[in-house]
Amino acid sequence: MRWLLVFVAWSAVGCVAPLASLTRVTPLEAASARFTLMTEPGATEDEARVRAALTRAVPKLERWGSLAAPVTVRIAPSHKALERAVRRNGYDWLRAWARYDELIIQSPGSWAGTDRDVDELVLHELSHCLMFQRSGTARDWESKRIPLWFREGLATVTADQGLRFPSLEDLADWVARNPGLDVFGDAEQLSREAYGQIYGVAFHAMRFLLRRVGDKGVIDTMDAMRAGDDFGAAFTRAAGTTPARFEADFLNYLRFRGFRGFGLKARPRFFQAPEALPAP
């Protein structure tokens, strides 16, 4: 299947009800970005860590632009609370979920995240918010049909998370052992059990794209979506090839080891972080 609509109905009631205990509200401005942090009254340490990570993340987002709309950041007290809020069960690796102007993060204290882990997670998630805001409006961003590899590729590259995932050599081996898998078309379903490999495909596919079209090509893709295109049309306009052709090129790059002499043969070190989708 080329696309699985994963923007699960996430109404205000559905999102907020499981997080009704988040009654502490703290505004934050970091450069041009505006946030509202919502936490449990006693979660001051988690709030401070997330607040610091947000401040450090904003300058790194400028590679792609700026957050035009304020973002509400909710700090879920547990993994169970996070899964209930975003209506995704059985994703043990899930640590956050991002939308156009909302971000839910599992409290760092509940998963023993280091400051570096929290920084990466927050930057990853804010990259999603920026992408959604640059690619559409609050009314139409979900209709752009941005595939997982592009969403997660931009976020993992921005957060410099390559060592969290399999190397190109390891991915090539995995693809060869699983010739029946559609790692692009079925990425949403596969991410539940093969999270590291699917996010690794996204990371390396985005780097492959950036070598072809540079940052400008990615920015032009987002801008074309905001102007009215869906992802397929926007990508074709900016990259000069269709998404299907690009995906086939990348898979050939893996299969024929086109990266040899450049890729690192590092073993995967799976991390406990970002949201799944549409991140969201």
Instruction: Flag residues of the chain having pLDDT under 50.
Output: 1-14, 262-280
Q: Residue 168 domain-assigned?
A: yes
What CATH number has the domain bearing residue 52? Answer: 1.10.390.10
DSSP category for residue 241: S
Residues 117 and 180 in one domain: no
Torsion over CA: 198, 59, 54, 71 (sign): negative
Is there a single domain that holds both residue 53 and residue 123?
yes
pLDDT at residue number 176: 95
Question: DSSP code of 247?
Answer: H
Whether 267 is in a domain gets the answer no
User: Residue 30: helix, strand or coil by DSSP?
Assistant: strand
Q: Is the pTM of this model over 0.85?
A: yes
pLDDT tens-digit map of 244-262: 999 999 999 999 999 985 4
DSSP states along 146-187: --HHHHHHHHHHHTT-GGGS--HHHHHHHHHH-TT--TTTTH
Same domain, residue pair 83 and 139: yes
What is the chain's length?
A: 280
The answer to whether 130 touches 136, Cβ cutoff 8 Å, is no
Q: For residue 193, what are the domain limits?
A: 146-255
Q: At what angle do helices 243-255 and 231-239 cross, to 10 degrees?
A: 70
Question: Are 135 and 49 members of one domain?
Answer: yes
Q: Which of 143, 166, 201 is the last residue of a domain?
A: 143
Q: Structurally, how many domains does the chain consist of? A: 2
- Asked if residue 207 belongs to a domain, the reply is yes
Query: How does pLDDT run across 50-62, given as a tens digit for each residue?
Result: 999 999 999 999 9
Whether residue 153 sits in one domain with residue 98: no
* Structural domain includes residue 114: yes
Same domain, 50 and 132: yes
Identify whether 265 is part of a domain.
Answer: no
Determine, yes or no, domain membership for 37.
yes
Residue of 73, 132, 179, 171 whose CA lies nearest to 277 = 132
| Residue 90 pLDDT | 87
Which pLDDT belongs to residue 144?
97
- Residue where the block lists tokens 């997670």: 121
- 87/187 same-domain check: no
